[in-house]
Amino acid sequence: MQWHFSQNNRIMPWKGEPDPYKIWLSEIILQQTRVEQGLNYYLRFVEAYPTVFALAGARDEDVFKKWEGLGYYSRCRNLLSTARLVVEKYDGQFPGDYQALLQLKGVGPYTAAAIASFGFGLPYAVVDGNVTRVLSRFFLVEAPIDSPEGQKIFKTMAQDVLEPDNPGAFNQAIMDFGATVCKPVLPDCIHCPMTETCGAFTTNKTRVLPLKSKKLAKKERFFAYLIFVCKRKVWILERPEGDIWRHLNEFFLIELGSEKALKTFSPEDLLTQMEVVPASVKGYDDIFEQMLTHQRIHARFFIVQVSAKPRLPGTGKWIPLQQVREYAFPKTIRNFLDSYPLT
């Protein structure tokens, strides 16, 4: 706390924010997202939707468009669902009760603790990666942070060390300390005010802790996208339930089984089977990649010009080319459109 009030100069627009709506908004945006990336999204959302009423009344498509590129789109769906519930059930006021906060979609123990402590001054400890790293090193905890045992230990420990008279400031202090001093790869032990009592520093284990028990192998997926264009309109389809990028838009997709299949893929035979007679087909050799939590996406794109709209499966729709930018797409597709704009 002394470090926080005398040396912590980490400035963020949501720090010290008393409005539970803006606290909640920042926490949802920052879930699984680096602060540097989430900052502009937070400012954009606050400007477009300054109150929970504004967000609750917004069109889904508009909100998803503003979220575009941030990833983990279930957060955006939960954002809309919770905003509307808060308006309908709580008259636009976030509940000042930890258990009630946990009932909101997308709000887990960490986010509930953040809203409770920052917005209502309630004594609930936040436990994120920064916090567990500080606790693991300082108290020399060698339980893996991703194990059930470790999670239980760190949750209890964070609550034990919490400053009950000023929980919001303490939560902010320990998170900022982990982000700026007790950093993951190169901790700034030279300027740390707690080295004399830090277990990891005194036993030379700073670069060993915290421990992780396992790493999940990433699944490789290979997408070939056919972009059907007819008379200055393009066909798009909303992604289905139960898979990545749910409710975002995409073009006609063929999922292949290997990198070789993707590199050698040619759509002519498929178009013949679909009884599509193209005016022209233009393929791009570039392979666009996107890293997700447990998956790596590899994508190639083909523009298929047709003189008459073909019958395509699914509930897709034809939209004017000039309106493509108004729809929300996954980062993979957006990167392609940035490199090769549809004209």
Query: Is residue 27 annotated as part of the catalytic site, yes or no?
Result: yes
Alpha helices in the chain (DSSP H): 2-6, 20-30, 35-48, 52-56, 60-67, 74-90, 98-102, 109-114, 120, 129-138, 148-161, 167-180, 199-202, 259-264, 268-273, 331-339
Distances (CA, A) of 134 to 33, 172, 202, 262, 274: 20, 13, 14, 44, 58
CB 307 within 8 A of CB 279: yes
Distance CA 72, CA 28 (A): 10
Helix (H, G, I), strand (E, B) or coil at 324: helix
CA atoms within 13 A on the CB side of 164: 2
Backbone angles phi, psi at 124, to 5 degrees: -120, 130
CB 93 within 8 A of CB 53: no
Catalytic one of 27, 36, 68, 163: 27
Q: What is the DSSP string of 250-296?
A: E-EEEEESSHHHHHH--SHHHHHHTT--EEEEEE----EEEE-SSEE
Distance CA 84, CA 78 (A): 10
Could you give the residue numbers annotated as active site? 27
